[in-house]
Structure 1
């Protein structure tokens, strides 16, 4: 096949144009046409995965489900490929590696493809976009995909929201999760915490500790928000100053005065030499006795 190289595709077209190639949509209803027309079909053994594919793990169960669908309906959405740099006559998969793997399980011999001339940067961008669109991504993987698109390609949250069909608040909330420490992010990856639980912990002093409490107690999102609020209130509450250790002379003087008066006497010294003496009486009779003692001492 001769590939048209006149209109170079990729970043110059903008994110929305790239999205047109990688939209992942459900299979069309009977009688409907697939969203994109394939340029041609290519044998499975002439396709090779992208070595820089950000996604490294593919669920065996999900691949088997996709393979069953392919056995029944075929590959509805064409794979996006580019001519291989390593082998003449072969193609590198840009988007659609899951469909390629599932087609092998389904024992298909060839798949429909769209051939595109893309450079390495464009290939990486499309791979990230495709992964973001996958429904089985966890919140951390999705957030990291957004962060890559923003850091590496200069896309804004508004631009991503418009092109990906997401709300700006959805993208912003997911990006905030990346502020959490690695142990909390791992809880999200493993499904022990939801994104809602994790968002409540972002502004706390020790999100790792609170995350373990949430998991152990199987708290709801609302209960987690309450726990985070309580932790913040405890932080803001003024702490009582730690009492200074009294020296032996002061303690001896307290004991002597207490024994002479028959009442409890405490002495508190301040660093500047000032202080206070407190006499605790148990009844009005004790108060009369104290007043008489003090009057007699004048």
Structure 2
């Protein structure tokens, strides 16, 4: 239980809540909260933490304490239970150091703000893997019903930047594991998406890691694989600027390859082809369309 009366939150939106390192927190009440009463942020995008770094931080905390308070929210003021907003590493290290309490600042925060803070803290202060970053953007879009443009605006990114990350969610699980382990870079992942056949894609990803291939080498290998059958493709008719712009916007929205095809000589008649590269990718797209197969 906290040993001091809980202060009121700032109530000025995400900017006011996400101030951990940007303002003088000495003007706010810092209270000692039992570590056992703090739940982790359920929207934490980071899956893995450097255990050696946590051990080092735990030793520092055991010897000198926590210098910077964590930030939490208290959903029910009548219940001694808190949810973490920022300070995941400090909380984890305090648990390792077997600290009974940890200094904290309590602020009001909605569920939406809690989610945004979890993503923003990691994007601004730590290096997420490419896959973790992509999943974080996807979470904001699906949970908060945001478009790519809205996510980009909130996080200070461009729409193409967000779209490129979302595309890697369509990679096969075997390739995602390589991304999660930082064995593949974002540039390599984007290049692998150009491989048409799933099994070829997986094999090339493993080969890329084994041979430490550069993005340029990977591009050449992908082009060779896609053209290995030696079949000559008919030259596609030139698309109008309107169609190309529409394709670009659809690709940004869905995070995958989209083609608008004029399948008939009749003006205005055709089809839209949306590519998916795995079952997970298909489920992601179905969710965006509001299709529930459960």
Asked whether the two chains share a fold, i.e. TM above 0.5, the reply is yes
**Larger RCO: 1 or 2 (CA < 8 Å, sep 6+):** 2
Contact 1:19–1:164, Cα closer than 8 Å, also in 2: no
Question: How much does 1:50 deviate?
Answer: 3.2
Match of 1:284 in 2: none
Task: From the superposition, tell whether residues 35 and 203 of structure 1 become closer, same or farther in structure 2 (CA, over 3 Å).
Answer: farther
Is the Cα contact below 8 Å between 2:41 and 2:118 reproduced in 1?
A: no
In structure 2, the partner of 1:117 is 108
Structure 2: gaps spanning 5 or more residues:
234-294
Q: Secondary structure at the match of 2:228?
A: helix
Q: Deviations over 1:214-238 (max 9, x none)?
A: 2232211110111112223335633
The corresponding residue for 2:29 is 39
Q: Equivalent of 1:49, from 17, 20, 39?
A: 39
**C-alpha separation between the residues in 1 aligned to 2:47 and 2:228?**
43
Show structure 1 runs of 5+ residues with no match: 240-298
Aligned length: 224
State which of 229, 232, 257 in structure 1 corresponds to 2:226.
Answer: 232
Hey, what does 1:99 align to over in structure 2? 90
> Which has the larger Rg?
1
Deviation per residue, 1:3-33 (Å, 9 max, x gap): 547x8x5xxx7xxx425433665xx9xxxx7
CA displacement 1:239-295 (0-9 Å, x = unmatched) = 9xxxxxxxxxxxxxxxxxxxxxxxxxxxxxxxxxxxxxxxxxxxxxxxxxxxxxxxx
Runs of 4+ in 1 over 6 A off after TM superposition: none
Q: Deviations over 1:52-89 (max 9, x none)?
A: 3545543321212434565568433x322122549733
**TM-score normalized by structure 2?**
0.62
2:193 matched residue in structure 1 = 202
Counterpart Cα distance in 2 of 1:50 and 1:3? 20
Give the aligned partner of residue 183 of structure 1. Answer: 174
Per-residue deviation, residues 23-53 of structure 1 (Å, max 9, x unmatched):
665xx9xxxx747854322234464123735
Matches of 1:37 and 1:231, distance apart in 2 = 62
Check the 8 A contact 2:72/2:107 in 1, yes or no. Answer: yes
Change (3 A) 1:116 1:238: same
Offset of residue 174 of structure 1: 1.4
For 1:18 and 1:194, the matched residues in 2 are separated by 31
Q: Give the 5 Å matches for 1:140-289.
A: 140-206=131-197, 207-234=201-228, 237-238=231-232
Rounded to whole Å, the distance in 2 between the matches of 1:96 and 1:105 is 14
- The alpha-carbon deviation at position 122 of structure 1 amounts to 4.0
Indicate the RMSD between aligned Cα atoms, in angstroms.
3.5
TM-score, length basis structure 1 = 0.61
Q: Does the 8 Å contact 1:196/1:221 carry over to 2?
A: yes
| From 75, 88, 110, the counterpart of 2:67 | 75
Distance 1:39 1:176 in 2: 44
